[in-house]
Amino acid sequence: MQTNPASPPYTSLVAIGDSFTEGMSDLLPDGSYRGWADVLAARMAASAPGFRYANLAVRGKLIGQIVDEQVDAAAAMNADVVTLVGGLNDTLRPKCDMGRVRGLLTEAVERLAPSCGRLVLMRSPGRQGPVLERFRPRMEELFATVDELAAKHGALVVDLYGAPALADPRLWDVDRLHLTADGHRRVAEAVWQTLGYPPEDTEWQMPMPATAPPAWLDRRVADVRFARQYLLPWIGRRLTGRSSGDGRPAKRPQLLPYETPEVREAYEGRA
């Protein structure tokens, strides 16, 4: 197999963070989650023989937990590319010390940047809706820190927050906190292009075609279901200090060759 001469020479990827990077809610038939990082890894593997991939992200993790549990492990892997997305869970807590969040994110970047070929940070996507509006100033403060750290340490920034498509509720799961499979695909495309790969979807950030809004009764039923199934349990975990990721291991804790049937098919097709 020959690699695409236009593709960057990246041969390894490590992704760290929370549920966004773990892949919720891009559900696979076996009950596991795929997500943008897996999609990105499969694409990168298709153009780089022997490509290796690790995903240390675990749902519910705060930036302090990411620093304590994932950063050193990721740094030790000396990967070509490391993606770090964290801090958003902190901004959604009722009580959030943004000074501490900024300090921990700074610590993470300072430890990761020298250990990898390319560090990728993100301005996370933010859907429309009243629930997140009260937290938006914190989110934007977090993203300003991301921009400052990237400029200082030569990291890349993927601006998902400014992508019109990712604000569309149709690209978010029923829990209103995690992207659908199409949303994750668009994120993978955004990171892919930011890393310098040839675009596969030049319109990933374009708004979706307009459709008629749901009827008033359908919206109210959806709101009640959302509150009962997702919002109230989420509030309960915040109040009791619990996390959906407590005791959960990372899905790919080691930097190992990444090969799927799709990657093997790509190898054979390009051989």
- Name which residue leads in pLDDT, 118 or 5: 118
Domain membership flag for residue 84? yes
Query: At 271, is the pLDDT very low, low, confident or very high (cuts 50, 70, 90)?
Result: very low
Radius of gyration of the chain (CA): 18
Decide if 4 is inside a domain: no
* pTM higher than 0.85: no
The pLDDT of residue 128 is 58
CA distance 33 to 133: 28
Q: Look at residue 270 in the predicted model and tell me its pLDDT.
A: 41
158 within a domain of the structure (yes/no): yes
Whether a cis peptide bond, with omega within 30° of 0, leads into 19 is no
Distances (CA, A) of 93 to 235, 240, 261: 9, 12, 40
CA distance 125 to 162: 8
Residue 5 placed within a domain:
no
H/E element, 255:
strand 252-257
User: Within a domain: residue 41?
Assistant: yes
Give CA angle at 36 (143, 155), nearest 5°. Answer: 40
Q: Across residues 244-259, what is the average pLDDT?
A: 84
CB 56 within 8 A of CB 13: no
pLDDT given for residue 172 in this prediction: 80
Task: Please identify which residue in the block is written with the tokens 């996390």.
Answer: 243
Determine, yes or no, domain membership for 263. yes
Split at pLDDT 50, 70, 90, the class of 205 is confident
More confident: 172 or 8: 8
Report the amino acid identity of residue 75.
A
CATH code, domain carrying 252: 3.40.50.1110
- Across residues 162-184, what is the average pLDDT? 84
User: Does residue 129 register a pLDDT over 70?
Assistant: no
Predicted pLDDT at 216: 62
Summarised one tens digit per residue, pLDDT across range 252-270 is 999 999 875 554 454 344 4
Show the DSSP H helices in the chain as ranges: 19-22, 36-46, 63-66, 72-76, 88-91, 98-112, 130-133, 136-153, 181-194, 216-226, 232-240, 261-270
Q: Per the structure, how many domains does the chain have?
A: 1
Least confident range of 164-173, 178-187, 229-238: 229-238
Tally the C-alpha atoms within 13 A of residue 60's C-alpha that lie toward its C-beta.
15
Share of the chain above pLDDT 90, in %: 56
Give the mean model confidence (pLDDT) for residues 171-188.
Answer: 86
Q: How far apart are CA 265 and CA 194, in angstroms?
A: 25
Q: What pLDDT, on a 0 to 100 scale, did the predictor assign at position 181?
A: 92
Does residue 3 belong to any structural domain of this protein?
A: no
Which residue range is the domain that position 108 belongs to? Answer: 12-270
52 sits in which H/E element:
strand 52-55
8-state DSSP, 135: T
Q: Is residue 6 part of a domain?
A: no
